[in-house]
Amino acid sequence: MREPDGSRAPGALGTAYGVAAYAMWGLFPIYWKALSSVDSFQILAHRVAWAFVFSLILALATGRGRDLASFLRSPRRLLASAAAGFLVTLNWGIYIWAVNSGRIIESSLGYYLNPLVSVLIGATLLREKIDKGMIAASAVALVGIGILTVSYGRLPWVSLSLAVTFAVYGYIKKKANLDSINGLAAETAFVFPLALVFLAVEHTAGRGSFWNAGAGPTVLLTLAGPITAIPLMLYAAGVRLLPLSRMGFLQYLSPTLQLSLGVLVYGERLEGARALAFGFILAALTVFLATRRKAAT
Q: Are 158 and 113 in contact (CB under 8 A)?
A: no
Asked whether the predicted pLDDT for residue 8 surpasses 80, the reply is no
Question: Quick one: pLDDT at residue 205?
Answer: 83
- Asked if residues 123 and 111 have their Cβ atoms less than 8 Å apart, the reply is no
Task: Evaluate whether 155 touches 110 at the Cβ level (below 8 Å).
Answer: no
> Quick check: helix, strand or coil at residue 37?
coil
User: Looking at the domain assignment, is residue 156 inside a domain?
Assistant: yes
At 45-80, the pLDDT tens digits run 999 999 999 988 988 887 777 777 776 777 888 888
- Give me the number of domains the chain comprises: 1
Nearest Cα residue to 139 out of 287, 296, 294, 293: 287
Residue pLDDT, tens place only, 81-128: 889 889 999 999 999 999 988 889 888 888 877 777 877 787 777 777
Q: Which domain holds residue 280?
A: 10-296
**Residue 290 falls within a domain, yes or no?**
yes
74 found inside a domain: yes
Residue 206 lies in a domain: yes
Neighbours of 271 (CB within 10 A): 9
Whether residue 4 lies inside any domain: the answer is no
Residue at 124 is within a domain: yes
For residue 259, being part of any structural domain is answered with: yes
Residues 130, 243 contacting (CB under 8 angstroms): no
Query: Cα–Cα distance between 170 and 248 in angstroms, integer?
Result: 9
pLDDT at 3 over 60: no
Mean pLDDT value across residues 284-295: 69
Among positive and negative, which fits the CA dihedral 52, 55, 60, 64?
negative
Is 2 among the domain residues?
Answer: no
Tell me the pTM: 0.80
